[in-house]
Structure 1
Amino acid sequence: MIDVILAIIAAAAQPGADSSAPEAAAAAPEPAPAQTALAAEPQEATGRFTTALEVKPILAATHGNWIHVREFDGQDLLYVTHLWSWRCGLAQVKLGVNGQAPEIWPLPDCHLEEGFPNMIKEEDGLPYRSYPLGSIQQVSVEVTYDDLSRESLTFGRNGQPLQ
């Protein structure tokens, strides 16, 4: 699996790669709005998965893992563990539950000094929030990559993207 991911990243990073292909154009994320206070970061493939260049293909291939709703101890727990696991290529994540306006869910810092900068450490906190049992029916997610491109998806309670 990691070989496939690395091949996707390598192909995207090659100079002269044809990004005008219909498949690439259809899957291209929307640009972030001009009023954002976020700043684009340099994009260089390092193999450490710390930039949008490296993380976008992975998150595009794993949309179904972005969120997870779990019933536990009389509550719905909304997990964003997958997004946290690739946060070093993200600038921001917003989530909206059941049609509410998306709100920023803070991301822990990347651990750039570590061998695995995206690892989730105990001091990073927990990658979920709790809601009343059975209350989560849909979740909208807006991801802003560190190159300031955006991608938005809406998921059902089962975590599957809605059409």
Structure 2
Amino acid sequence: MFNVLLALTIVISVGFGAGPQISQGGAVIAVSEAPADNWQPEPQVPTGKFTTATEVKPILTATKAAWLALREYEGNDLLYFTHLVAWRCGLHEIHYAVNGAAQQVFEVEECYLETAQPNAMKMETHLPYITYDLGSVDSVSVTLVFDDGSKDSAEYGRKDILMP
């Protein structure tokens, strides 16, 4: 369950308005409050385009070890959410916690529901990673909130997600 996440919790929300921004490692990150408490789970009508929890949950469950990646690059730690962002259209939120810091919200680009590839990443306004100081990411906890209201979670140590 999502009882207590001690650490930096960033929520990747699809389709919510922009809020204030913070700068982290030279990148500007949109920060906003969590969506209103009146959010309701979405109808689960499979489309064949992998835009519902019904369609993406089996994939994300089978690929839990690949949810995150950590890369040491140009004197920084880059914490990648690429795998989760690629399946974002079946998610409501992604919560994550790094090393006990405060909660924050990270917004991803919208889903392109009217296109042949609704989960495509244009990366024009949002990047699938966060930059930290080199060696500073020791552990990460992740909780997915699917668009049907169900949840799944995982915990990773640095060595579990560090790319060669």
**Unaligned stretches of 5+ residues in structure 2:** 4-35
Report the structure, 1 or 2, having the larger strand content.
2
* SS of match in other structure, 2:60: helix
Q: How many residue pairs align between the two structures?
A: 129
**Unaligned stretches of 5+ residues in structure 1:** 1-29
* SS of match in other structure, 2:143: strand
Larger Rg: 1
Q: CA RMSD in A?
A: 2.1
Instruction: Report the Cα offset of residue 61 of structure 1.
Output: 0.3
Matching residue's letter, 2:46 = A
- Distance change >3 Å, CA 55–CA 84, structure 1 → 2: same
* SS of match in other structure, 2:159: coil
- Normalising by structure 1, what TM-score? 0.72
* SS of match in other structure, 1:122: coil
Task: Quote the residue 1:83 is aligned against.
Answer: 84
Deviates more, 1:106-115 or 1:63-72: 106-115
Give the fraction of aligned pairs with identical amino acids, expressed as a percent. Answer: 47
- Tell me which of the two structures has the higher relative contact order, counting C-alpha pairs closer than 8 angstroms and 6 or more residues apart: 2
Please give the residue correspondences for 1:1-163 in structure 2 after superposition, counting only pairs within 5 Å.
Answer: 36-159=37-160
* SS of match in other structure, 1:108: coil
Report the structure, 1 or 2, having the larger helix content.
1
- Normalising by structure 2, what TM-score? 0.72
Which whole-Å CA distance do the structure 1 matches of 2:158 and 2:146 have between them?
A: 24
Which whole-Å CA distance do the structure 2 matches of 1:55 and 1:40 have between them?
A: 15
